[in-house]
């Protein structure tokens, strides 16, 4: 028997062709995107040998290491949440960004694409499933989007961009899969948290302060290791 990857690929291609023909479409009008997260380049080269050229990644760091090991001529799509501070690398490695979900990211991608002289294709993500409460007052935030600071800790909104939190605490949270603090917490917990639930991620403690059955609204963030202090007092003899 051949490699299971080859068998599965052939089966999918056949199912796509049959479904397209059944609905009066040309099979060539349907494109199969191979999502290759955590799949090594040597496995992807099996698909390449079968003629496949369309791949999707959702971590810039992983793609940066993997794409150079692949033959040239493929089409690479970024399909995960993208932090604004990763836009430069995303433009460098990807042909299409499928998850443009905010104006500042679109502006940054355009700026980086113009500098690189690249015609970057993007897909715009539009949320039509939620209506904002016009009567709810906007919280007062600092420049980086922090609602309040108490000592080394800070309280942030769930929709704060992870990159801003990384800059504030000078840490790397490896959060290419999600752009917001709420997404980071949800991904690491694996479930929607209850108020008061805590989790530690790369030297930071995250405590959920406000949440409901749809979203995480407020999170307290602080270093897990308190800063060193110097005792200037004299010792008792």
Whether the Cβ atoms of residue 183 and residue 115 lie closer than 8 Å to each other: no
81 and 114, same domain (yes or no): yes
Q: Over pLDDT 90: what percentage of the chain?
A: 52
Least confident of 9-13, 113-117, 179-183: 179-183
DSSP per-residue letters across the chain:
---HHHHHHHHHHHHHHHHHHHTT--GGG----EE-TT--HHHHHHHHHTT--EEEES-HHHHHHHGGGSPTT-EEEE-S---GGGHHHHHHH-SEEEEE-SHHHHHHHHHHHHHHT---EEEE----S----TTSPPPP--TTSEEEEETTEEEEETTSBHHHHHHHHT-----TT-SBHHHHHHHHHSSPPPTT-EEEETTEEEEEEEE-SS-EEEEEEEESSPPP----SPPP-
Q: Kindly report the CATH number assigned to the domain that includes residue 179.
A: 3.30.465.10
Confidence check: pLDDT of 141 > 50: no
120 and 38, same domain (yes or no): yes
* Assigned domain for 198 exists: yes
47 and 114, same domain (yes or no): yes
| Each residue's pLDDT tens digit, 60-89 | 989 999 999 999 999 999 998 888 888 999
* Assigned domain for 99 exists: yes
* Assigned domain for 229 exists: no
* Assigned domain for 47 exists: yes
105 and 150, same domain (yes or no): no
Put simply, whether the predicted model's pTM sits higher than 0.75 gets the answer: no
Confidence check: pLDDT of 138 > 90: no
**pLDDT, mean of residues 142-151:** 57
**pLDDT, mean of residues 20-47:** 93
**pLDDT, mean of residues 119-130:** 82
**pLDDT, mean of residues 8-33:** 94
* Assigned domain for 22 exists: no
Confidence check: pLDDT of 104 > 80: yes
Among 124, 159, 191, the domain boundary falls at 124
119 and 40, same domain (yes or no): yes
120 and 150, same domain (yes or no): no
pLDDT interval class at 174 (50, 70, 90): low
Domain hosting residue 206, numbered range: 146-223
pLDDT reported for residue 139:
43
**pLDDT, mean of residues 14-32:** 95
86 and 46, same domain (yes or no): yes
Count of domains for the chain? 2
pLDDT reported for residue 215:
86
111 and 153, same domain (yes or no): no
pLDDT reported for residue 82:
87
Q: Kindly report the CATH number assigned to the domain that includes residue 65.
A: 3.20.20.10
Among 93, 124, 155, the domain boundary falls at 124
Least confident of 65-74, 92-101, 136-145, 193-202: 136-145
37 and 120, same domain (yes or no): yes
pLDDT interval class at 171 (50, 70, 90): confident
């Amino acid at each position: 028997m051949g490699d299971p990857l080859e068998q599965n690929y052939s089966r999918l291609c056949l199912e796509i062709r049959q479904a397209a023909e059944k609905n009066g479409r040309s099979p060539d009008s349907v494109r199969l995107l191979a999502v290759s997260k955590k799949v090594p380049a040597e496995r992807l080269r099996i698909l390449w040998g079968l003629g496949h050229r369309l791949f999707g990644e959702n971590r810039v760091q992983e793609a940066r290491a993997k794409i150079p090991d692949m033959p040239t001529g493929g089409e690479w799509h970024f399909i995960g949440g993208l932090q604004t501070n990763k836009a430069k690398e995303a433009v460098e490695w990807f042909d299409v960004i499928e998850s443009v979900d905010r104006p500042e990211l679109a502006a940054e991608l355009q700026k980086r694409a113009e500098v690189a002289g690249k015609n970057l294709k993007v897909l715009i993500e539009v949320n039509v499933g939620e209506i904002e409460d016009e009567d709810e007052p906007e919280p007062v935030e600092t420049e980086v989007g922090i609602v309040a600071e108490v000592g080394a800790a800070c309280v942030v909104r769930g929709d704060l961009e992870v990159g801003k939190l990384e800059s504030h605490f000078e840490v790397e949270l490896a959060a290419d899969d999600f752009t917001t603090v709420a997404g980071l917490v949800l991904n690491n917990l694996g479930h929607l948290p209850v108020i008061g639930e805590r989790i530690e991620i790369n030297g930071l403690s995250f405590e959920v302060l406000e949440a409901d059955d749809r979203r995480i609204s407020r999170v307290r963030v602080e270093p897990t290791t308190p800063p060193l202090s110097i005792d200037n007092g004299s010792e008792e003899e």
